[in-house]
Amino acid sequence: MPFDAYDRPIQYLRVSVTDRCNLRCVYCMPEEGVAKFSHQDILRNEEIVRIVRIAVETGFVHIRLTGGEPLVRKGIVDLVAELARIPGLDDLSMTTNGILLRQYAEPLARAGLRRINLSLDTLRPERFRQITRWGNLEDVLAGREAALAAGLRPVKINMVVVRGMNDDEVVDMARKTLEPDWHVRFIEVMPLGAGVHWSGDGVVSSAEIRARIEEALGPLTPVPGEVGIGPARYYRLPGAAGTVGFISAVTDHFCRFCNRLRLTSDGRLLPCLLSSATIDLRTPLRNGATDEELRALFMQAVVAKPRGHALAEGILPTSLPMSHIGG
């Protein structure tokens, strides 16, 4: 596997397959949406497959499909099937808002998808509509059940916590982990896109969330061996079947352990989510670049990874909206 300039192993690629989304979450984008790429700008299936194959040959073994909302991409099941056939790919997963998951869960599992992360910021139907503007909570919960039935386990719930919006539900969400198959991760809101408006006072630290949960439900114990390939730290409540995770991108960043690159839906590699630096893959790809030339660009992105972000110094990123980056 490749190592960056700070001796971090880089083996995880997040692939945005579309900049479109069927929701308009208030911390992600305005109700009218954001400027969309033209159709010819978006990578074609065969281009994504080639890039991922080269990434796997370079040493990337974990691939996560994101968006926008990946399930709105036409032909997403076929794309998953092609990716799943790449030799050496250990893990193929997806992050989705779950609106369309009920109809796609079984076909995706048959195609070779292994796991699902589900974005869910509230358990209250009216609040869900307020946060997402367009969505219905029942669709997401039905999608979760369909994913479990299809064998896409574990289904991890990602809850972005924003003060004054949904932070009063962190205990209720953590309590769900007392039930089977509930794994909840609390994520600090990040200053990207519409999230810039929620930075500062809107951030609820992982430490505060943990304190609230422990006061109401008892001590959280670290889960031995539950590290995962991402930035979450995992714990378990007394007697719980599921796990509680914390992703502290703002107050206790995990940059020293970062193991990922991001590929945007229009074919740019991002060494860091919170940096404006990008490396164009689409242009050389469409101009006839060889596999070796594309692999060299991957290594260029690996070497370009910064030591860490500068949020603590109040320096906000000027990169693309989250719907373009792929989370």
pLDDT of the residue at 246: 96
pLDDT of the residue at 153: 94
Assign 221 to helix, strand or coil.
strand
Domain boundaries, the chain: 12-309
pLDDT of the residue at 30: 77
pLDDT of the residue at 204: 94
Contacts of 134 (CB under 8 A, 6+ apart): 22, 23, 24
Q: Choose among 86, 16, 95: nearest CA to 55.
A: 86
Q: Which CATH class is domain 12-309?
A: alpha beta
pLDDT of the residue at 312: 54
Alpha carbon distance 135, 127 (integer Å): 10
Alpha carbon distance 32, 147 (integer Å): 30
Contacts of 50 (CB under 8 A, 6+ apart): 285, 294
pLDDT of the residue at 315: 56
pTM recorded for the entire structure? 0.92
| Buried residues in 41-58 as b, exposed as e (16+ CB within 10 A) | ebbbbeebbbbbbbbbeb
Amino acid at the residue 238: P
Strand pairing of 155-161 and 183-188?
parallel
68: cis peptide before it, omega within 30°?
yes
Alpha carbon distance 297, 291 (integer Å): 10
Residue 133 near residue 31, CB atoms below 8 Å: yes
| Buried residues in 254-287 as b, exposed as e (16+ CB within 10 A) | ebeebbbbbbbbbbbbbbbbbbeebbebbebbee
Task: Give how far Cα 282 sits from Cα of 29, 42, 120, 201, 297, Å.
Answer: 25, 9, 32, 39, 11
pLDDT of the residue at 54: 97
Ranges of the chain with pLDDT below 50: 195-196
Residue 113 near residue 152, CB atoms below 8 Å: yes
Q: At what angle do helices 101-111 and 76-84 cross, to 10 degrees?
A: 30
Strand pairing of 155-161 and 221-222?
unpaired
Rounded to 5 degrees, φ, ψ at 9 are -75, 125
pLDDT of the residue at 201: 74
Can you point out the beta strands (E) in the chain?
Answer: 12-16, 62-66, 91-96, 115-119, 155-161, 183-188, 221-222, 233-236, 244-247, 260-263, 268-270, 279-280
Alpha carbon distance 94, 96 (integer Å): 6
